[in-house]
Structure 1
Amino acid sequence: MRHDKAAMVIDLARGMAASAEGLTLNEMAAQLNVGRRTAERMRDAVLMLFPQVEEVSDPPTKRWRIRGGLSAFEQAPTATEMLELTKAAAALRAAGEPARAAALESLERKVKAAMRSTTLNRMAPDLEALVRAETIAVQAGPRPSADETVLAEIRGAVLAERPLNFIYARPGAEARTRTMTPCGLMFGRANYLVAADRESGRIQTFRLDRMSAVEAGEGTARPPADFDLGAFASQSFGIYQDEIEEVALRISPEGAAEARGWRWHPTQTIEDQADGSVVVRFRASGMRELAWHLFTWGEQATIVGPDRLKAVMGEALAAAGRALERA
């Protein structure tokens, strides 16, 4: 068996061991990015190499899983995998996220502690060299705050399906005591609690650094049955959620190549124009954050629509002009 096929078999075995309910053939094919027939051959190879594989009936299909995990031999991480874990922790710490960085650093220590000394010693020189050769470029922007105690309280309320009580203070507004149904967390340029109003069911976002006295309340609080955090996050260009708009941006020929390789939004389409420019279209809310982003494109970006985005951009330009006049 070629080395790449052997690697696929080990990867599939890891997937079976990592899934409590097991994998179907279709899930195996998706994990390996192969066709169903190839997935069947890979499954049969795993069955020969790992006799502890269990077949689970899940009508109308079947699943296969490996209980008890795999041995350290099959699970030893590579230097590249450990490097990415180290970089992820370093990026969080550099971005002002010490609590989340500490969680990854703790995971890194646990992984290394579980490795055989010979494997760890063999990896150490390569890992050290890679860590010295790669770094994280820290970009200007707000420093998100995620207090470890606040995160633990929110996560506990989510898992226990309990309401969340907290005091929320917006700039220029009186602090209010809120009781919400926690739906999840969004991390980015700022960190947010996503929660549902207990009466109306309306989904709202709250910046973690503006929350205090956070604690789980009494009773049961379940998110709306049809709520999907990933889908909710993808509605906006950034974090702010408001009315969803049909956005169209014309990028000049000078910026067209970069625009084609840019990830604007999950719903984006890019249309080539006769003059070499491109028109980028997507559906999103968050026009203020989009306007901020468009400043980085300078004269290369022209707003085709919506009118509200043009208005928001105009307001931002006027505010910048007033600031310059005061300087």
Structure 2
Amino acid sequence: MRHEKAARLLDLARMLAGSAEGMTLDEMARALEVGRRTAERMRDAVWAAFPQMEVVEDPPTRRFRIPAGLDGLFQTPTAEELAALRTAADSYRASGAEGRASSLYALERKLLSALRGAARRKVAPDVEALVQAETIAVHAGPRPYEDVTALAAIRTAIKGLSALSFRYEGGSTPGRTREVTPLGILFARSNYLVALEGEDPRPRSWRLDRMQDLRVLDRPAPPPEDFSLQAFADESFGIYHGAVEDVFLRIRPDRAEDALRWRFHATQTVRPEPDGSVTVAFRAAGMLELAWHLFTWGDGVEIVAPASLRQIMVEELRRALSVHDKAADLSGTLPLP
């Protein structure tokens, strides 16, 4: 128990050393999942151990931080942390995300090079043992396009609050040059730039693999103050945005356990029913992508609402059935591959 308390105090010290603006007592309490009074006692204990802690007045509150950081003695990563970093990098590389994989491999090298010789020799065998004992299941699907030069240009524009120009080989006018206010990047099966174009206040998504000749412009283009990339992503089931619908699904009892562990949407409400089924409710756009996903549940899911989603599902099933029915009829006359 005493060791656990010391570890918690060190966690708080790391938070205070890693925060440029400092943390309030309420933020400490939320981060540590303790009450405000406990957070106050923990702050005082850290302050006694690290007297360089300073107070930043931020009326009506006060913030606390350790401005010079912590000595390397307190920052040695564990084998589990380094193994998790390596696994994340391997996962990115396996999925085709070479740019992000390279960044994590570089971070791993920096962490290892910062370790003292004895600490590095002690942790390295454990890291390799953990990495060898854990592997990544690579799922079927498209590999995301991730050009390092394109990502660098987008990130430079975002950090500099600058406009971005590119030629887009998609949409209704392929080859047209766009000038946009970049808002962020959505990483998915295909990667997208989210940006504003012209006077249209609605964010739009552009696929990175269809963008050419990216240039950061010498023109300020700050994002709207109230924009949240996470909120934008949460509006849709997938990437495509449209009218937001109230979705209500019923999962059969034999798939209930799967549904209770499944995350359909960030806003979902999941409720077990007396008959053993599970109901799932959320608000989202992107009904076509949702229908594609629900198809993988087979007859384990019933679309209760909206009617538009049921209709899309029926149309997609009929289209697939017509193709495969026709193929079945011809199978007796066509040579097998």
What's the TM-score, normalizing by structure 1?
Answer: 0.96
Task: Tell me the residue number matched to 1:69.
Answer: 69
Q: How many residues align?
A: 327
Task: Tell me the residue number matched to 1:7.
Answer: 7
* Distance in structure 2 (CA, Å) of the matches to 1:141 and 1:208: 17
* Distance in structure 1 (CA, Å) of the matches to 2:31 and 2:272: 34
How far 1:107 moved relative to its partner? 0.6
Q: Does 2:199 correspond to 1:196? A: no
* Distance in structure 2 (CA, Å) of the matches to 1:165 and 1:55: 43
* Distance in structure 1 (CA, Å) of the matches to 2:11 and 2:169: 48
* Distance in structure 2 (CA, Å) of the matches to 1:119 and 1:64: 31
How far 1:34 moved relative to its partner? 0.8
Instruction: Note the 1:1-327 alignment, pairs <5 A.
Output: 2-170=2-170, 174-325=174-325, 327=327
Deviations 1:113-151, CA, capped at 9 Å, x for gaps = 111111111111111110011011111111111100000
* Distance in structure 2 (CA, Å) of the matches to 1:167 and 1:318: 38
Letter in 2 for 1:114: A
Task: Tell me the residue number matched to 2:334.
Answer: none
Contact between 1:250 and 1:278, CA under 8 Å: does it hold in 2? yes
* Distance in structure 2 (CA, Å) of the matches to 1:80 and 1:127: 7
Give every structure 1 segment of 4 or more consecutive aligned residues whose post-TM-superposition deviation is greater than 4 Å.
none
Letter in 2 for 1:252: R
Letter in 2 for 1:133: A
Deviations 1:281-327, CA, capped at 9 Å, x for gaps = 10001111111111111111011111121122122212322332454
What CA RMSD, in Å, does the superposition of the two structures yield over aligned residues?
A: 1.5
Q: Structure 1: 5+ residue runs without aligned partners?
A: none
Deviations 1:230-275, CA, capped at 9 Å, x for gaps = 1111111122111110001110111112111211112111233332
* Distance in structure 1 (CA, Å) of the matches to 2:282 and 2:188: 21
- Secondary structure, in 3 states, of the residue corresponding to 2:185? strand
Letter in 2 for 1:168: Y
Q: Structure 2: 5+ residue runs without aligned partners?
A: 328-337
Contact between 1:168 and 1:210, CA under 8 Å: does it hold in 2? yes
Contact between 1:72 and 1:116, CA under 8 Å: does it hold in 2? no
Deviations 1:55-76, CA, capped at 9 Å, x for gaps = 2222212111111211111001
* Distance in structure 2 (CA, Å) of the matches to 1:35 and 1:83: 33
What's the TM-score, normalizing by structure 2?
Answer: 0.93
* Distance in structure 1 (CA, Å) of the matches to 2:163 and 2:130: 45
Deviations 1:161-216, CA, capped at 9 Å, x for gaps = 11111111227863322111100111111111000122122210011111111111
